[in-house]
Structure 1
Amino acid sequence: MDTLSRRWARLEPHTTVFGPDDHRPRPAVLLFHGCGGLRDHLPKYAAAAQAAGWRAFIVDSYAPRGWSRTFAMATVCTGLLLRGHERAGDVLAALDGVSRRRDVDPSKIALAGWSHGGWGIMEAMSSERLPGMLGLVDPGDVPLEGVLASYLAYPYVGVAALNRMRPWRHCPKTLAVIARSDHLTSVRNAERVHAMIRDCGAEVETWIADGTHSFDEPMTAPPMRYHPELAEEAVRRFAALLEDVAVAPQAAAGSTATDARIELAT
């Protein structure tokens, strides 16, 4: 079983960083992919965060485990491996690791998850985080107070998400994206789950996008279909959420943005 630091040591080399090319402590958003792994749409969200003066960290949960996309599709997407409570360990470890960086303001953090990634975030927010839970020795050692927002893009809230109605223990402002034609859940079920989050005291905005699951991912794998206009609107709403919860420092004149592995300042 990992500690937070050991889990982050595994995730860190497979995390991609976007942000202004400076060392100022900035708000940061952590992005967690769906069960299909890293896809082309996540850098678009990271670039939007970067444009707003935030740092963005795209966390790959599969490369540290030696899993290919094909393997993940056959195991994670079918619920055989890495269910939401286990993925929550990655969320907490990444939150702990990123919050310790000198170029990140630990009081201004957002978490963003797509499908399976959203499931992991919801488990991280609702778990008791006792020693040994979520695959971690010390899950309770990372504070959640700095998490100001969560972006949940068609999070998995189907039958395998046994804890989907468990109240959150930390309640940041949340934008919940529901796909009207999501084959993994009904709109009614998703709204019920998000209403539970609202009841814990969080400000929750729900957007019912008139598309399928993964509508913002440039691919077609029926019943999922890419919808470019909705994808553009999703990125806009994501960026607006970040700007609503924290104002980032302006980039220095003449500075350039970065898109690099996490080998930057740690």
Structure 2
Amino acid sequence: MTAHMDTLSDRWARLEPFTAVVGPDDDRPRPTALLFHGCGGLRGHLPMYAAAAKAAGWRAVIVDSYAPRGWSRQFAMATVCTGLMLRGHERAGDILATIRGVSARPDVDASKLVLAGWSHGGWGIMEAMSADRSLPSLGVADPGAVSLDGVQATYLAYPYVGVAALNRMRPWKHCPKTLAVISAKDHLTTVRNAERIHAMVRNCGAEVETWVADGTHSFDEPMTALPMRYDPDLTQEAIRRFVALLEDAAVAPPLA
């Protein structure tokens, strides 16, 4: 007996109740950023990016991949952060399902989406961009049942590109404009390894900008769990660059 595999619509039905939509208080179809947390789960920094997107006239959708699965932060730290569960290719199923679900909202311009992922979330986005979606994969039965045409850009914040990311050198099939944030003091990758991977992505025709931030992994997360250390100045610069990427990707309707 094979285990039941979610369709994209099944997966979105599970994720949607735990999804926060932030944006201007109107029902105009606006360009929308989809935000995917790191392996430590939903933390205080994603709402800062969502607020910045809102101020720029965008909507932002913050997706919690753990609550729908009944996982606590402690459980995720012990399993996902250690690579035992929910590898990047499986997380990609959440990303595709979110694109499909959010694209159906009347207050979202589905032709103007940006995917943003932090660490494990960035890994998931990279898997979604590079996978062969003609077969059941990425933890879902129908990964090809959503178009990526509306994805205009990706924001990859210190994405996980270490040894467990087996497909990290697999070329992307969808090649949007990308801003990759590399942490100079990242304990999970060297700058050289990260640069090599982002150069490979550039080969598919994507415009890939890399910014080497002089901080640790998760430098924009307001906590310190050594070797990771919060840097408020770098965080403000990261948010500024995130908003600049949004504004490069699409023009939002003016705020009322």
| Aligned equivalent of 2:187 | 183
Q: Which digits, 9 at most, give the CA deviation of each residue in 1:83-112, with x for residues without a partner? A: 000000000000000011101011000000
| Aligned equivalent of 1:9 | 13
Mapping for residues 54-203 of structure 1, pairs under 5 Å:
54-203=58-207
Aligned-partner Cα distance in 2 for 1:218–1:114? 14
Q: Which digits, 9 at most, give the CA deviation of each residue in 1:95-152, with x for residues without a partner? A: 0000111010110000000000000000000000133211111100100011000000
| Aligned equivalent of 1:263 | none
Q: Secondary structure at the match of 2:221?
A: coil
Give the CA deviation at 1:17: 0.8
Moved over 3 A (4+): none
Q: Which digits, 9 at most, give the CA deviation of each residue in 1:41-97, with x for residues without a partner? A: 000000010001000000000000000000000000000000000000000000000
| Aligned equivalent of 1:262 | none
Q: Which digits, 9 at most, give the CA deviation of each residue in 1:146-171, with x for residues without a partner? A: 10000000000000000000000000
Aligned-partner Cα distance in 1 for 2:81–2:132? 25
Residue type of the alignment partner of 2:79: T
Asked whether 1:33 is paired with 2:41, we answer no
Aligned-partner Cα distance in 2 for 1:3–1:49? 30
Q: Structure 2: which 5+ runs fail to align?
A: none
Aligned-partner Cα distance in 2 for 1:13–1:76? 22
Aligned-partner Cα distance in 1 for 2:28–2:36? 24
**Normalized against structure 2, the TM-score is what?**
0.98
Aligned-partner Cα distance in 2 for 1:98–1:204? 25
Aligned-partner Cα distance in 1 for 2:63–2:134? 24
Q: Secondary structure at the match of 2:138?
A: helix
What is the percentage of aligned positions where both structures have the same residue? Answer: 79
Residue type of the alignment partner of 2:54: Q
Q: Secondary structure at the match of 2:254?
A: coil
